[in-house]
């Protein structure tokens, strides 16, 4: 029977490498110290290396199970231990607000508490609602249906802001989102024109400084540029713009004639406001 080359075990490979390394080191040292030892002389002083740990047989089932893992849920990940289990900021997010509690959030909490109290004795499993921040982000295509719905409820029908996605949305748009619900919209025509076309907050989410935050983010993303807008003369948003330092520079009679419903209580006359920066 012919003997072929025996398979090289990883232990003997490690032994050979270690032996070569030690030989190298000893020869270098002896050269530096002026002494001379032949490789054969050194070899005789070397005792063979035997691994101290016996190799553990591989459990293929465990190996397969490990190979099957493709992702780790964020809640179970090492990163979540470092950062906390709150979801990481989305790349388009500008600002995350965990503090604000809006009238709508309060109402929902009251309803849930009431329901829990009313069913305290029953065996119904009461679902718990996770809290989430209000996230300020730039306009994404996914927001468009909700943005149009919100703007049409607040202003007039037929509003389409899809082309804002083509004009530097990272500078000219701010959207406030709670979980997947769009609760506020602030849009500028473009970073060149810096004219605010729409500012609106969903009913039930107002008076919680969402408009103020959106306006602040929009202004700070367009520094050193005057910002202009038109506002109906009897709109309470005038107070908000005043707080930012907007000043009226023009009175435009009938500005909203073509847009507002004739029965609307909002004045059709507008002020053109300017924020000098």
Ligand X SMILES: CC(C)(COP(=O)(O)OP(=O)(O)OC[C@H]1O[C@@H](n2cnc3c(N)ncnc32)[C@H](O)[C@@H]1OP(=O)(O)O)[C@@H](O)C(=O)NCCC(=O)NCCS
Q: Site residues (CB under 6 A) for ligand X? A: 154, 199-201, 206-212, 229, 231, 235-237, 239-240, 243
Give me the least distance between CB of 185 and ligand X, in Å please: 9
Q: Write out 196-257 in H/E/C secondary structure.
A: EEEEEECCCCCCCCHHHHHHHHHHHCCCCCCEEEEEECCCCHHHHHHHHCCEEEEEECCCCC
Residue (of 58, 27, 64, 65) closest to 45 by Cα position: 27
Residue with Cβ nearer ligand X (96 or 154): 154
Helix (H) or strand (E) holding 184: strand 181-188
Give me the least distance between CB of 186 and ligand X, in Å please: 8
DSSP code, position 151 = H
18 dihedral zone (left: phi>0; alpha: psi -120 to 50; beta)? alpha
Give me the least distance between CB of 112 and ligand X, in Å please: 24
Please give the Cα distance from 97 to 116 (Å, whole number): 27
Residue with Cβ nearer ligand X (22 or 237): 237
Q: Which residues contact 35 (CB under 8 A, 6 or more apart)?
A: none
Residue with Cβ nearer ligand X (174 or 231): 231
Please give the Cα distance from 231 to 236 (Å, whole number): 9
Give me the least distance between CB of 63 and ligand X, in Å please: 56
Give me the least distance between CB of 255 and ligand X, in Å please: 11
* Token digits of residue 194: 């810096």
């Amino acid at each position: 029977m012919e003997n072929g080359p025996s398979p090289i075990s990883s232990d003997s490979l490690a032994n050979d490498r270690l032996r070569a390394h030690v030989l190298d080191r000893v020869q270098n040292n002896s050269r530096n110290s002026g002494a001379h030892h032949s490789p054969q002389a050194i070899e005789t002083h070397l005792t063979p290396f035997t691994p101290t740990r016996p190799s553990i047989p591989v459990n293929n089932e465990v190996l397969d199970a490990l190979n099957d893992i493709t992702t780790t849920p964020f809640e179970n990940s090492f990163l979540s231990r470092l950062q906390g289990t709150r979801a990481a900021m989305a790349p388009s997010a500008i600002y995350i607000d965990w503090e604000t509690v809006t009238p709508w959030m309060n109402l929902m909490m009251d309803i849930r508490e009431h329901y829990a109290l009313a069913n305290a004795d029953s065996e119904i499993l009461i679902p718990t609602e996770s809290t989430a921040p209000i996230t300020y982000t730039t306009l994404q295509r996914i927001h468009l249906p909700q943005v149009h719905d919100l703007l049409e409820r607040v202003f007039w029908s037929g509003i389409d802001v899809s082309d804002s996605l083509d004009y530097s949305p990272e500078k000219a748009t701010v959207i406030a989102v709670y979980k997947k619900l769009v609760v506020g919209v602030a849009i500028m025509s473009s970073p060149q024109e810096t004219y605010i076309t729409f500012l609106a907050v969903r009913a039930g989410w107002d008076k919680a400084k969402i408009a103020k935050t959106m306006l602040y983010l929009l202004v700070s993303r367009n520094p050193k540029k005057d910002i202009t807008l038109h506002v109906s003369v009897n709109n309470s948003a005038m107070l908000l713009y005043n707080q930012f330092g907007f000043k009226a520079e023009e009175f435009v009679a009938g500005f909203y004639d073509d847009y507002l419903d004739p029965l609307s209580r909002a004045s059709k006359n507008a002020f053109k406001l300017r924020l000098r920066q």
